[in-house]
Amino acid sequence: MTDLSPDLPRDPRHDPVLREEVIAALAIAPGERHVDATFGAGGYTRAMLAAGAEVIACDRDPDAIAEGQALVQQAGGKLALIHGRFGEIDRLLAERGIDAVDGITFDIGVSSMQLDRDERGFSFQKDGPLDMRMAQDGESAADWLNRADEAEIADVLFHYGDERQSRRVARAIIAARPLTRTAELASVIRKALRHPPGAPKDPSTKSFQAIRIHINSELDELVAGLNAAERVLRPGGRLAVVSFHSTEDRIVKNFLRERSGGDAAGSRHRPAPTSQARAATFETPARKVRPGKEEEARNPRARSATLRSAVRTAAPAHSAQDKSGKEAMSC
């Protein structure tokens, strides 16, 4: 198992953001069973194995699962890789006869492997098909951009990308249709926002992020994943979530606040949630953790990362008592 040591040379594919902080929050005792809900290139999984955990890792991207098989071999029976969405992780675990785990970790967003491959169509810096599908099925970014109306596109850019000029960009996209390549889309956005060539910050970043979040229903998945985590964590089990976007972080923060009883009183503008009368399912969450200066300098992607973590109580899962996990949360 030497290959699983956290002291390996720093390969960005195996050097996930906030790795040490996540492992500290998980407080892994040897022999515990942990879920890595977003396997990617296996950076967290390696660190969990090195800490002595048995790991069940999941990813919706079939490439991540195929490329993880080498690690499965190395791990000598301590790692199982599952292809699927973390929003249904409790069902995926139940199919393997597992109904409770000691920890679950989410590293939300796109992997460097997905970003680096032109043919996946995630990056505005590379020319590839306008795809952006993590699971490699369903509607692609090109399919959606070529059929949606201006208001729908503008709403996605505004809400998921914080693009203040969303209407202007949406109008330019409609005028340039059909779009099939990432380079075409990036160029349309830059022109719409009058981006001077060579200027440091590329204005297509925000729209690419927004379209990716929409195509992969990432916010709905996050809510479903948090609810599923509540159902599968044993009392005392640990939840760790790393996110890269303010909307995602707000979802995690509100979920933990609500489930730890911190929002029980509601406010003048928002009535008390229906979970008010229910026992807290998470103990007071830890303060949010941000990367240090050294990590930010080493890995620019770390600059927007936030880790939130909490410990499961013994109270019954709110989401198991409601009709669906989504209804169980007001965020």
Ligand X SMILES: C[S@@+](CC[C@H](N)C(=O)[O-])C[C@H]1O[C@@H](n2cnc3c(N)ncnc32)[C@H](O)[C@@H]1O
Q: Provide DSSP, 18-60.
A: THHHHHHHHTPPTT-EEEES--TTSHHHHHHHHTT-EEEEEES
Nearest to 134 by CA among 64, 194, 76: 64
Compare residues 263 and 295 and give the one whose CB is closer to ligand X.
295
Compare residues 22 and 156 and give the one whose CB is closer to ligand X.
22
CA distance 330 to 73: 42
Compare residues 3 and 147 and give the one whose CB is closer to ligand X.
3
Is the CB of residue 141 less than 8 Å from the CB of residue 212? yes
Rounded to the nearest whole angstrom, what is the least distance from the CB of residue 304 to ligand X in the complex?
12
Nearest to 185 by CA among 175, 197, 173: 173
**Would strands 233-243 and 33-36 be described as parallel, antiparallel, or unpaired?**
unpaired
Q: What are phi and psi of 249, to 5 degrees?
A: -65, -35
Compare residues 22 and 311 and give the one whose CB is closer to ligand X.
22
Q: Quick one: three-class SS letters along 111-145?
A: CHHHHHCHHHCCCCCCCCECCCCCCCCCCCHHHHH
Rounded to the nearest whole angstrom, what is the least distance from the CB of residue 199 to ligand X in the complex?
28
CA distance 104 to 35: 5
Nearest to 242 by CA among 26, 10, 8: 26
Compare residues 110 and 317 and give the one whose CB is closer to ligand X.
110
Rounded to the nearest whole angstrom, what is the least distance from the CB of residue 61 to ligand X in the complex?
4
Is the CB of residue 90 less than 8 Å from the CB of residue 227? no
Name residue 45's amino acid. T
Compare residues 85 and 257 and give the one whose CB is closer to ligand X.
85
Contacts with ligand X by CB under 6 A lie at 16, 38, 40-44, 58-61, 64, 85-87, 107, 109, 111, 134, 221
Compare residues 193 and 251 and give the one whose CB is closer to ligand X.
251
